Amino acid sequence: MARILIFGGHGKVALLLEPLLVAQGHTVTAVIRNVAHEADVAATGAQPLVADVETLDLEQLINVVAGNDVVVWSAGAGGGNPSRTYAVDRDAAIRSMDAAAAAGVQRYVMVSWIGSRADHGVDRGDSFFPYADAKWAADAHLASSGLDWTILAPGTLTLDAPTGRVAIDPQGPGAVPRADVAAVVAASIADDSTIARTIRFGGGDEVIGHAIAG
């Protein structure tokens, strides 16, 4: 069983992922910014760790990730403030990758979005542009990092009940329940065939484990 560190540990996907990983026997640490969220994380069986990824420097992040086997990035600024979007979704994410490499934590799983690519097509004047730009920069850095990386790129996130099934490279927005995204993350950690792959997915009919297998 692995020691797994999740950045963005109080996010909607992370709170669904944590009990899945704990049930599999992993030791899970969830990094959160707000001390008021400790109880929510602890209720999943994960260990909360209060730290602000936006302000931690590389050395501090090395200390946070050291001793783990897997890093999962599920953090985000939540939009609205372009400078903070870049600070969290791009800069802090990249520092966490560099910290993982420096600490010898090879396995890194990024929760991205279905449109994350160099030609994402979002106009520079669009309020969504900073997010698209930041996520692509982080994903590109991860893909060139030398880590054992997986980029998971779900479509539009919903609060629907989990289905346990997805579609790879769906047409359209690829709406998918957050619970199924959490299941894809857990399945990817367990499946080394997902290493060095970007997996774009949405809701669908194929069982998750089969869908993501390389």
Say what the alpha-carbon torsion angle 189, 137, 16, 195 is, to the nearest 10 degrees. -10
Residues 6+ apart with CB under 8 A from 43: none
Q: Per-residue pLDDT for 44 more than 80?
A: yes
Specify the amino acid at residue 3: R
Fold of 3-212: Rossmann fold (3.40.50)
Is residue 14 within a helix (H) or strand (E), and if so which, with residue range?
helix 12-23
> Is the separation of the CB atoms in 18 and 46 below 8 Å?
yes
Residue pair 139/112 in contact by the 8 Å Cβ criterion: yes
Residue 204 in tokens = 């669908």
**Residue 23: φ, ψ to 5°:** -65, -25
Q: What is the pTM of this model?
A: 0.96
Residues present in the chain in total: 214
* Three-state DSSP class for residue 49: strand
pLDDT tens digits for 54-99?
999 999 999 999 999 999 999 998 877 999 999 999 999 999 999 9
Report which of 192, 191, 198, 98 is spatially closest to residue 139, judged by C-alpha positions: 198
Percent of the chain with pLDDT over 70: 100
